[in-house]
Structure 1
């Protein structure tokens, strides 16, 4: 069964002077997907979105929407809806007039226009603000109106350029939930640009991780988090503890490693590195189990250390444990007992070999 591809980028490249800001970007985005472009500032995510929108032209490669080549096609001919970081509402127009603006440009009959505006205001749960002006709304309400304005034209593709970054944490979370509900309810193909890893993991069917204009990995949120293709992807997504070390042995049972602090560790064969390779060794805080006594569980990495400090963060508690020269962060579900761990207390840490990520250090082969 063939897939319905709404967006395709083929070997897209963009330069500003001698600086290559997007290099050899390839992706197919299926109908109804929500795909996030994720990366630090300057990685090329917004530049790529602007090429898809028609605000910039690629220097190389092809860009297709619904199978039609879009190179050179102006933005207003691409059937797009776009929501920006700033709300971009007309302050002198009512909310109804703001939402209806794109329909008015398309000369949609008044009765149909009214029905479509009312429908989309219902979708964003703001039917009661139609006659108000933007200055009379909160920031979250204004951004929902910006989303309604993008959806009312029934676009083939919805482009979201960091639409939540100007909101406070609580409102950002609420609007994120609302956007996911809308995207799934309407089924519009969506590209979401963000530097916020949690937003990308929450919103997306797939994530494109970019760094310095290059695609580091394209995958599901689960794959990006649990099967990172590079050290950059692993460290950019979520927290992780890092140690330096060397591969001592590789056999059918996995990897045997030794950290530069003399700690012997084990990893699985997912990590494609050979004996003698100097490596960075990572384990995520939530993959580590903390015990107050030495239980001696078999088949796991086990070290002992001293509690430096604990931080209660509501649903979970973070505990910093001094292990040799390293401070190991452990994230645990909060209980009264775990929150009461005392500074200086000896504890034992365990984690499984499959939760160890190993990447060759710079200048090392695999």
Structure 2
């Protein structure tokens, strides 16, 4: 069954003076979907969110919510809830009063206000704080109350503008889990703005990667991580080892590459056109590299010898920095699988599969 489209952006553009901060933004968001806008500071993600919220007007294009054109419609007429970086709770009001505030503005009956506020406090697992004041809550609790306040009016769309950025690492993780539970339980269409790739990968049905106001790629978390459309997307999402080289030979669906360090690699071609002798940038992610003390039989392809520079234990995994000619290559090994303790100065062999190598030309276009 095809879901309805809750939000649609059609050729949206926004300028501040001569600067185009959002350019030709096209997107459809289905009912119940969680979509993240992901990118570095200044990429246009918050500006786009503010246009959807009605705080800014697009200079060009159409914005539709549930099929209705929203250009020029004020924010309070758009049936949406919004959560900001800061909690924005009224310090002189109790938590119950804070959550009830939007309902009172809508002149909802007192009995119904009490029912809905109590229900939403139960949903965010904070019914016991109703009579407390914001200063009596932790940062994580205050942000959950801000989410409750956004949801209590039963909006058709939830907008989240980096709501976890002011929390410490442990609280971020806890509230991230809570957000995912709430979004799935309620089934509300959600747009989540973040510069944190892990948050986007964890929470989203789809991710929109932005850079300098342009959409670089729209896809599922799996697609964004494993099938990046550009060099920017690949380097922004996750960690990767970078090498320079050239195309020595094209062989149907594969490329034979020679790095500046002198060793050869075989890579799957995927999409893109590459010519013999063309200079390219080569990437391989740390977790895709095998690390062994002895040479593995691989016909000399995608296997290089190196020297361990240092190791770093990081709990669930261990990172090894291995010197291979011109390059220092990071290898990530799951700690539970690590049967061998690698030490500084030890000779090792690295290997990786052709499908785990990403190749990009000087224009940033990849395979």
In angstroms, what is the RMSD of aligned CA positions?
1.6
CA distance in 1 between counterparts of 2:365 and 2:104 reads 61
Residue 150 (structure 1) aligns with: 150
Q: Secondary structure at the match of 2:86?
A: coil
Q: Is the Cα contact below 8 Å between 1:99 and 1:149 reproduced in 2?
A: yes
State the Cα distance separating 1:248 from its structure 2 match. 1.1
- Distance verdict in 2 for CA 1:299–1:23, change over 3 Å: farther
1:39-76 CA distances to partner (integer Å, 9 max, x unpaired)?
00000000000000000000000000000000000000
Matched, 1:101 2:92: no
Task: State how far apart, in whole Å, the 2-side matches of 1:130 and 1:316 are.
Answer: 42
CA separation of 1:268 and 1:337: change in aligned 2, threshold 3 A = closer
The 1:299–1:30 alpha-carbon spacing in structure 2 relative to 1, beyond 3 Å, is farther
| 1:252 matched residue in structure 2 | 252
Aligned twin of 2:208: 208
Q: Deviations over 1:249-290 (max 9, x none)?
A: 112251100011111001012152232221000000000010
1:230 is the counterpart of 2:230: yes
Unpaired stretches in structure 1, ≥5 consecutive residues:
none
Distance in 1 between the 2:156 and 2:113 partners?
A: 18
Mapped contact 2:359–2:366 kept (Cα < 8 A) = no
State the distance in 2 between where 1:271 and 1:288 align: 23
CA deviation string 1:148-203 (max 9, x = no partner): 00000000100000000000000000000000000000000000000000000000
Tell which deviates more after alignment, 340-349 or 329-338. Answer: 329-338
Say which SS state the counterpart of residue 202 (structure 1) adopts.
helix
Question: In structure 1, how many angstroms separate the alpha carbons of the residues matched to 2:339 and 2:316?
Answer: 12
2:67 counterpart residue number: 67
1:188 & 1:248 partners in 2: Cα distance?
51
Contact 1:140 1:167 in 2 (8 A): yes
Offset at 1:362?
3.9
Counterpart for residue 359 of structure 1 = 360
Aligned to 1:35: 35
CA distance in structure 1 between the aligned counterparts of 2:301 and 2:67, rounded to whole angstroms: 51
Whole-angstrom distance in 1 between the partners of 2:364 and 2:104? 59
Q: Which residue of 2 aligns with 1:292?
A: 293
Aligned to 2:166: 166
Quickly say closer, same or farther: Cα 1:175–1:300, change in 2 above 3 A: farther
Partners of 1:82 and 1:158 within 8 A in 2: yes
Mapped to 2, the partners of 1:363 and 1:235 lie a distance apart of 11
TM-score by length of 1: 0.97
Whether the 8 Å contact between 1:278 and 1:364 is mirrored in structure 2 is no
What is the CA–CA distance in structure 1 between the aligned matches of 2:19 and 2:347, rounded to whole Å?
52
Aligned to 2:281: 280
Corresponding residue SS for 1:111: helix
Once superposed, which parts of structure 1, at least 4 consecutive aligned residues long, lie more than 3 Å away? 297-300, 335-339, 362-366
Q: Match of 1:349?
A: 350
Residue by residue, what CA displacement relative to the aligned partner does 1:81-130 show, whole Å, maximum 9, x if unpaired?
00000000000000000000000000011111100000000000000000
Q: C-alpha distance in 2, partners of 1:289/1:184? A: 37
Higher mean Cα deviation, 297-306 or 158-167? 297-306
Look up the SS of the partner of 1:210 in the other structure: strand
Distance in 1 (CA, whole Å) between partners of 2:120 and 2:236 is 36
Q: Distance in 1 between the 2:321 and 2:338 partners?
A: 16
Q: Residues 288, 145 of structure 1: CA spacing in aligned structure 2 closer, same or farther, 3 A cutoff?
A: same
Structure 1 pair 119–299 and aligned structure 2 pair: CA distance change class (3 A): farther
Unaligned runs of 5+ in 2: none
